[in-house]
Amino acid sequence: MRFRVASRFFFPALNPSLSVFIALLLTLGSGLSPAAAQGLGGGPVTVGKGGALQVGGLVQADLRLGQENAPDGFRARSARLRVGGEVKGLAYVVQTDFTSSDVLLDAYVQLPFADRARIQGGLFKTPYSSELLAPRPRIRFAERAPVVNALAPARQAGLKLVGNLTGSESTPLTVTVGVFNGTRGLSPNDNDHFLYLGRVNGGFPLGPGQVDLGASVGYSVDDGVTIPNTNPSFSGTRFLFQADAEYEAGRWLLASEVHAASLDSDRPTIPSAGSRSPFGFYVTAGAEVAEGHQVLARLDSYDPDAPTTRIQEEQIALGYNYDISTIFRVLVNYQAPTDELTEGFVTGRLQVAF
């Protein structure tokens, strides 16, 4: 089943089940005052004295309607438990997701290194892409942009060093370097080579708002690693580049990222494993239309440079987020290809995060 859009409204024509669901979301949201709900908290729960043990969690319940090649229905998108803390400068985090095939998401320790630096080791997000590094409860749409999911190295086991060159908390200039297995999650290294990553990011005031800039690079020699939209698994030299920018002024937001990769295969005799240069970007604009209410629009473009891979290269996503409190969010998205704006699908989400 696909949804059709009326010519003067950029939103799907609602069937009865979708109408009931959205009405429920809006009724639930309108019945709670953001100011009154702030007392619920929103950070992790501290156990005992000090910050040696803190417990956090995330539950996301989704309803999807109208998605091609997928039945309408509900699903548990995330069910996470996060345990962490700090003892005498040594911080640790363990995070699980019971809805994922890889239950263990994060498991790392972090300790100070010199005055303005810290070192982190274990399993965690690689220092690549502002949207990848954003915590899942605070990403602006139901899912990250397709180019980010495809090209960012995601979580890997490794080691990284982070330093603040300015020493300022208000206008920091942060440099991060890291070395990783080059394989996602807890998968062992595929060969005797590593994935090397570097990132620099900083923020400064501009006019009435704040601008944040970042750029990342990566290099590895791979032997049969899994890269999304690359079939079969990739063997060869991988070079990654990414840049991001974000500007917030009052209730207005503008954000963008560009990603590029060079995948130089060492298997030229296999046509489907040939060298390729994936490229993509996204641009997001948004506004807070009332306290706790945000509307967003995002244009996505991704070319995997693989003619045999079927993927929608350009699409648009419309979003509405209502932060009822610091722990409770309601989200509604509409996503469609740019050449068939009436042929999209809807995601509705209830989220609890602390």
**Which of the residue ranges 72-86, 163-177, 276-290 would you say has the lowest mean pLDDT?**
163-177
Name the nearest CA neighbour of 243 among 229, 262, 227, 259.
Answer: 259
Domains defined along the chain, listed by start: 16-353 (2.40.160.10)
Q: Using one digit for the tens of pLDDT, what is the confidence trace for 51-67? A: 899 999 999 999 999 99
Give the pLDDT score at 22. Answer: 44
Q: Which helix (H) or strand (E) holds 173?
A: strand 173-180
Helix and strand numbers (H, E) in the chain are: 4, 17
Span of 32-36, 68-72, 307-311, 341-345 with lowest mean pLDDT: 32-36
Confidence of residue 285 (pLDDT cuts 50, 70, 90): very high
Please work out, in degrees rounded to the nearest 5, the angle formed at the alpha carbon of residue 185 by the alpha carbons of 122 and 330: 100
Largest CA distance in the chain: 65
163: β partners: 117, 175
| pLDDT tens-digit map of 179-205 | 999 999 999 999 999 999 999 999 999
Asked whether the predicted pLDDT for residue 40 surpasses 70, the reply is no
Share of the chain residues as helix, strand and coil, in percent rounded to the nearest 5: 10, 55, 35
Closest-CA residue to 198 (of 221, 180, 182, 175): 175
CB 315 within 8 A of CB 302: no
Structure tokens at 287: 């506004």
d(CA 238, CA 263): 5
> How confident is the model over 207-262, as pLDDT tens digits?
999 999 999 999 999 998 888 766 668 899 999 999 999 999 999 999 999 999 99
pTM, 2 dp: 0.85
**Strands 90-97 vs 195-206: parallel, antiparallel or unpaired:** unpaired
Residue 60: both structure tokens together: 């996301």
Q: What is the DSSP string of 40-101?
A: G--SPEE-SSTTS-EEEEEEEEEEEES-TTS--EEEEEEEEEEEEEEETTEEEEEEEETTSS
**172 pLDDT band (50/70/90 cuts)?**
confident
Q: Is the pLDDT of residue 74 over 60?
A: yes
Per-residue confidence (pLDDT) for residue 312, from 0 to 100: 57
Q: Identify whether the C-beta of residue 320 lies closer than 8 Å to the C-beta of residue 288.
A: no
The alpha carbon of residue 175 and the mean position of all alpha carbons in its chain are separated, in whole angstroms, by: 20
